[in-house]
Structure 1
Amino acid sequence: MVRKEIADHLRSWRFIVLLGLIVLTFWGTTAVAITNLREVVAKAKDIDDLFLYLKLLTTTEGVLPPFHVFLNFLGPLLGIGLGFDAINSEQQNGTLTRVMAQPVYRDNLLLSKFTGSLLLVGVLLLCLSLLMIGGGMVLTGIMVEAEEVLRILAFTLLCTFYVGFWLALAILLSIIFRQPSTSALAAIGIWLFFTVFYRIVIELAVGALGPDVRGLSQSEAIQLNGMVLSLLRLAPSQLFSDATTTLLMPSVRSLGPVSMEQMAGAVPSPLSLKDSLMVVWPQVSGLVAATLLCFALGYYLFMRREVRS
């Protein structure tokens, strides 16, 4: 069943269009990054401290955002596009009843739709990462370091979790709504709210209900900023942005406000991969938990749903 779902996606025009958008975005941002890397390598004193292949995903000249910023925008569209009609289209076409008449369990059907789409996304992102590493080695002639490979693989896994959240949400909406157009509009509306309007709502609420920042002490201002960041991290896009920034930029040491006393004892050096993973562990746990919550709710509703009507 998983192979059938993957084959159906590969033969669909929807996936081909989404694949073209992701590949063109990756090619454009990587080409811009490689052009800028020549100047970075020429000015560098120590090539070993450059994290060259991480800069392929983070370097920009202002014309195009980095690839991880683009993926923050296009990843939800990929997940929604693969899952918004996973169940309701089967029921509308009458194939769901025929599938359930076979010796096939409901949970196997739902798991195959989620697992097949997620495997497809993971393989796509892994292939793009390997192409980026191979292209960088051919053009620059610099060998990739083991820590860079591990960070890029961790970034790929994180992107898969991020797309998986929107995929699970789209499958949940396809179970709730009987029309594929309704589930697609609902998923896109949720994505637009969390991507565009959620930060505006939080800032307006804090500005209207919160205290005046000018009259706060340093500790109170740090506490207020920490509360605002905690509210912003309820959005999946903010969790993804914080985690990818830390994984791809080893110089990032904290994701929250830091006092002067804490900065005084900090050593200006890049974090190891283990320390970066410890910093982003709450964000990764939040994404995985949200994905499992959406899938569990969809599983519950689908198991109790009448599919014969």
Structure 2
Amino acid sequence: MKSSTIQQNPTSDLTSFKNLLSSSGKIENPLSSTFWNMVRKEISDHVRSWRFIILLIIISLTCLGSLYVSLSGFAEVVKKSASNDEFFFLKLFTQSDGTLPSFFVFVSFLGPLLGISIGFDAINSEQNRGTLSRILAQPVPRDYVLNSKFIAGTIVVAIMFFSLSFLVIGTGLLALGIPPTPEEFLRIMVYTLISVIYVSFWLNLSILFSVRFKQAATSALSGIAVWLFFTVFYPLLMNLVLKGIQPSRYALPRTIFRYETLKYGLTQIMPNELFSEITSTLLVPSVRSLGPLTQGQIQGAIPGPLPLGQSLMVVWPQLTGLIALTLICFLISYYMFMRREIRSR
């Protein structure tokens, strides 16, 4: 009798034990609790920091200024667009009278500064304060630290950019009294998503420098130096090189085409140029090609706006390159952080 009483089904006992612990709150999914708690903590730190508030005010004011400039001379644009059935609502993001740049130009210029400011002290500041070793002393996987900082920064950037895009759409709707078409709305949403990817590249680059360098000032200056190099110095160097090999106007068409192909290929190295080409194609549907074309390729082409799918096909190489650069920066920072020795101070 005793042996029959003691023998029980071990599977049912294990299941009942797990149910008892999960009902008492002792078993929890670490991905849904610990990781997202770290993400929420990073988001709250970003939102409450003065540097993010200052950058948010600067970007919002500049975008509102560009929106005011685009709306000031919009009456003639609406008449021409309504008569020609153009995508005139997209001109809120691209139109400028020369006093201030357009909306997407401001985003391409100030977006890298936002990404660099969010991630330049993501890791080294934690290690200098001694909080990184305390976090890793807990039963928390090491990659949670880096992943939570990247996810939190991307979420903050996405909320900010989508809010600005909806602000432009709402202001244009109130000022014009005409809602955007579904095609225009989808183009604006895709443009905003690509803007988030573009800023995420600079966020990953700044996190990479934060992992590599111990001082936050060094990582910040490194990120700004890379941004200035691709924005100012690389175009100057490229123009000097191209000026030395520029063919004469009496050269063969094949030579001129090769020169233009080389010039176009050198510009594809710059992340800001990739973003500019993507956004100009999405926000200006009449753009049908980006690279140099031969006379045979131009012959027979019918001018007109492209649908959204065709516009994405035009910029697919640029979009793939921008995503690849973002992933490469993240993978390098991930590899360096996982192999890094962290000691308590």
Partner of 1:302: 337
Structure 1 match to 2:50: 13
Unaligned runs of 5+ residues in structure 1 are none
CA distance in 2, matches of 1:212, 1:52: 40
DSSP-derived class of the 2:315 partner: helix
- How far apart in 2 are the matches of 1:206 and 1:102? 56
Indicate yes or no: 2:103 matched with 1:67. Answer: yes
Structure 1 residue 262: Cα displacement: 2.3
Query: SS where residue 332 of structure 2 aligns?
Result: helix
Q: How many angstroms does 1:81 deviate by? A: 0.3
After superposition, residues 224-235 of structure 1 pair within 5 angstroms as: 224-235=259-270
Alignment-derived partner of residue 155 in structure 2: 119
Structure number with greater Rg is 2
Cα distance in 1, alignment partners of residues 198 and 215 from structure 2: 25
Q: Let me know the Cα RMSD of the aligned residues.
A: 1.3
Further displaced range: 235-244 or 261-270: 261-270
Pick one of 31, 40, 47 that aligns with 2:77.
Answer: 40
Q: Which residue of structure 1 lines up, in the alignment, with residue 301 of structure 2?
A: 266
- Provide the secondary structure at the position in 2 that maps to 1:251: coil
How many residues matched? 307
Following superposition, the deviation at residue 217 of structure 1 comes to 1.5
Q: Equivalents in 2 of 1:241, 1:38: separation in Å?
A: 27
Residue of 224, 231, 234 corresponding to 1:198: 234
Name the SS of the counterpart of 2:157 in structure 1. Answer: helix
Q: Is the Cα–Cα contact under 8 Å of residues 246 and 280 in structure 1 kept in the other structure?
A: yes
* Percent of aligned positions that are identical: 51
Asked whether the equivalents of residues 201 and 329 of structure 2 are also in contact (C-alpha less than 8 Å), the reply is yes
Partner amino acid for 2:64? W
Say if 1:143 and 1:181 are closer, same or farther in 2 by CA, change over 3 A. Answer: same
Q: Which runs of 4+ in 1 moved over 3 A?
A: 42-45
Q: Counterpart of 2:93? A: 57
Pair 1:91 & 2:134 matched: no
Query: Which whole-Å CA distance do the structure 2 matches of 1:50 and 1:303 have between them?
Result: 52
Which of the residues 307, 312, 317 maps onto 1:277? 312
The amino acid of 1:285's aligned partner reads: T
Q: Distance in 2 between matches of 1:17 and 1:213?
A: 50
- How many Å separate the matches in 1 of 2:73 and 2:246? 44
Q: Contact between 2:201 and 2:325, CA under 8 Å: does it hold in 1?
A: yes
Q: Please give the alpha-carbon distance, in whole angstroms, between the structure 2 residues aligned to 1:45 and 1:68.
A: 23
Q: 2:213 aligns with which of 177, 185, 207?
A: 177
Aligned to 1:139: 175
Hey, what's the Cα distance between the residues in 1 that align with 2:81 and 2:131? 61
How far 1:146 sits from its partner (Å)? 0.4
Q: Which residue number corresponds to residue 212 of structure 1?
A: 247
> What is the CA-CA distance between 1:163 and the residue it aligns to?
0.2
Checking the alignment, whether the CA contact within 8 Å between 2:81 and 2:87 is kept in structure 1 is: no
Q: How far off is 1:42 after superposition?
A: 3.2
**Which range moves more in the overlay, 38-47 or 119-128?**
38-47
Give 1:53 deviation, angstroms.
1.9
CA distance in 1, matches of 2:39, 2:195: 21
Q: For 1:12 and 1:154, how far apart are their aligned partners in 2?
A: 29
Partners of 2:172 and 2:277 in 1: CA distance: 25
Cα distance in 2, alignment partners of residues 51 and 248 from structure 1: 9
User: Mean alpha-carbon deviation: is it higher for 227-236 or for 181-190?
Assistant: 227-236
Q: Find the aligned partners of 1:144 and 1:224 in 2 and give their Cα distance.
A: 41
Deviation digits for residues 136-173 of structure 1 (CA, Å, limit 9, x no counterpart): 11111112100001100110011001000000000000
For 1:19 and 1:50, the matched residues in 2 are separated by: 33
1:259: Cα distance to partner?
A: 2.5
* Superposed displacement of residue 206, structure 1: 2.4
Q: Distance in 2 between matches of 1:154 and 1:123?
A: 14
* TM-score normalised over the length of structure 2: 0.86
Distance 1:251 1:117 in 2: 34
- Structure 2 residue 117 is matched with structure 1 residue 76: no
Query: Are the structure 2 counterparts of residues 115 and 213 from structure 1 closer, same or farther at C-alpha, using a change threshold of 3 Å?
Result: farther
Match of 1:246 in 2: 281
Q: For residue 213 of structure 1, give the secondary structure of its aligned residue in structure 2.
A: coil
Post-superposition Cα deviations, 1:20-64, rounded to whole Å, max 9, x if no partner, equal 1110111001111111212212344527x2312210000000001
Asked whether the 8 Å contact 1:36–1:59 carries over to 2, the reply is no
Cα distance between partner residues in 1 of 2:336 and 2:121? 16
Choose from 81, 104, 108 the match for 2:144.
Answer: 108
1:22 equivalent in structure 2:
59
Deviation, 1:211, is 5.2
Give the distance between the partners of 2:258 and 2:307, measured in 1 at CA.
28
Partners of 2:198 and 2:56 lie apart in 1 by 17
After superposition, give the CA deviation of every residue in 1:198-217 in whole Å (9 maximum; x if it has no partner). Answer: 11111212233x25333522
What residue ranges of structure 2 are gaps of 5+ in the alignment? 1-37
Query: Are the aligned partners of 2:247 and 2:255 in contact in 1 as well (CA < 8 Å)?
Result: no
1:266-296 Cα deviation digits (max 9, x unpaired): 1111111111000011111101000000000
